[in-house]
Amino acid sequence: MRSRYFEFVCAADLPASQLHAAFGAAFSDYLIGPFTLPLEQWPTFLGRQAVDLMESRVAMRAGSVLAFAFVAVREDVPGWRLATMGAVPQARGSGAAPALLDDFIARTREAGCAFAELECFEQNERALRLYRGRGFQATSPLYGYSWKASGAAASQGASVALEAAFDWLENVARERGDLPLQVTPVSLRALPVKLQALRLGSAQLVFSENAQGLVTFNSLVDRNPAQRDAQALASGFADRNCSVPQLQRPDVGGEALERAGFERQPLNQVLMRLVLRGAAG
């Protein structure tokens, strides 16, 4: 696509170093702080976001990147995800980012998808205005949580082989159709950490632990709305410092975390979707 001011190119046609540099510039003043992602970690970041560079687009002018829209083609639900979008500071207000968003929506519709989706921090009012102006609506808040070790805890749940845990999680993702991509296997597999899994009744927890002993709940899902099993799994870590990224839906485990005493983080994301009228599937 060409306009008077910029052209769109396939992200796969650009060197990783150029994409990485544009990403760093675009998020240098981000709401939650600048991204300091080394170039050697760029492939891991793309894998974590399940980015398909062939379906991603970059707005350019005279060989320089103005803005980018990285796309994830979801396999578990009939939709495409806008993994991340941004504009370098000098290109803000150029119209490049909104044009990329319109292009993303159009290509998602052409692919026969039922919806387009994305996540956005609820406190990022400028981005929310753009997405809402295109018809995206919030379907669920996504909260982060923390827990400070405070006494003894009784281990809950049975250890599960990771591939068996992923199979279980893929089935739930397909059944529900509304889990954030980053808590599903396609994203979890890209994490450069050792993952472990526990299951108790209707709930499953995939977690990791760093060298300092901090436990990260990478994916907590309870198929039962009561979330009693998820609460028991979380309570089993009462003697550890724990962190939960801002990807936790309240209705599949977040309410359990709060009942277990986990503290909700002040910033949160929202999962947003645009229903594509007349789309196949």
d(CA 122, CA 138): 10
Q: Are residues 178 and 92 in the same domain?
A: no
Picking from 136, 133, 132, 82, the residue whose alpha carbon sits closest to that of residue 108 is 82
Q: Are residues 24 and 81 in the same domain?
A: yes
User: Does residue 33 lie within any of the structural domains?
Assistant: yes
pLDDT of residue 279: 45
pLDDT of residue 280: 42
User: Does residue 119 lie within any of the structural domains?
Assistant: no
Report CA torsion sign: 244, 248, 253, 258. positive
Q: Are residues 41 and 108 in the same domain?
A: yes
d(CA 196, CA 219): 10
Per-residue b or e along 194-227, where b marks 16 or more CB atoms closer than 10 Å to that residue's CB: ebbbbbbebbbbbbbbeeeeebbbbbbbbbeeeb
Q: Are residues 104 and 154 in the same domain?
A: no
d(CA 70, CA 52): 7
What predicted TM-score, i.e. pTM, was given to this entire model?
0.92
User: Does residue 181 lie within any of the structural domains?
Assistant: yes
Q: Are residues 183 and 253 in the same domain?
A: yes
User: What is the extent of the structural domain holding 68?
Assistant: 7-113
Q: Are residues 80 and 151 in the same domain?
A: no
Checking DSSP bridges between strand 242-248 and strand 215-222, what pairing results, if any? parallel
Q: Are residues 251 and 200 in the same domain?
A: yes
Q: Are residues 150 and 260 in the same domain?
A: yes
Q: What is the residue type of 87? A: A
User: Does residue 199 lie within any of the structural domains?
Assistant: yes
pLDDT of residue 37: 87
Q: Are residues 253 and 156 in the same domain?
A: yes
User: Does residue 18 lie within any of the structural domains?
Assistant: yes
- The CA-based angle 235-236-242, given to 5 degrees, is 75
Listed in sequence order, the residues at least 6 apart from 238 whose beta carbon sits closer than 8 Å to its beta carbon are 147, 149, 150, 151, 152, 153, 260
Picking from 215, 222, 221, 180, the residue whose alpha carbon sits closest to that of residue 195 is 215
Q: Are residues 180 and 245 in the same domain?
A: yes
Structure tokens, 274: 């645009």
Q: What is the CATH number of the domain that holds 231?
A: 3.40.630.30
d(CA 160, CA 94): 50
User: Does residue 172 lie within any of the structural domains?
Assistant: yes
pLDDT of residue 30: 77
User: Does residue 278 lie within any of the structural domains?
Assistant: no
Q: Are residues 104 and 155 in the same domain?
A: no
pLDDT per residue as tens, the chain (281 positions): 555 689 999 999 999 999 999 999 999 887 666 678 899 999 999 999 999 999 999 999 999 999 999 999 999 999 999 999 999 999 988 999 999 999 999 999 999 999 999 999 999 999 999 999 999 999 999 999 999 998 777 778 999 999 999 999 999 999 999 999 999 999 999 999 999 999 999 999 999 999 999 999 999 999 999 999 999 999 999 999 999 999 999 999 999 999 999 999 999 999 999 999 654 44
Domains contained in the chain, number: 2
Q: Are residues 30 and 106 in the same domain?
A: yes
Q: If 0-12 CB within 10 Å is exposed, 13-18 middle and 19+ buried, where does residue 90 land? A: exposed
* Number of neighbouring beta carbons within 10 Å of residue 118: 23
User: Does residue 160 lie within any of the structural domains?
Assistant: yes
Distances, alpha carbon 217 to alpha carbons 13, 119, 204, in Å: 36, 19, 11
Residue 218 phi/psi, 5-degree rounding, is -80, -25
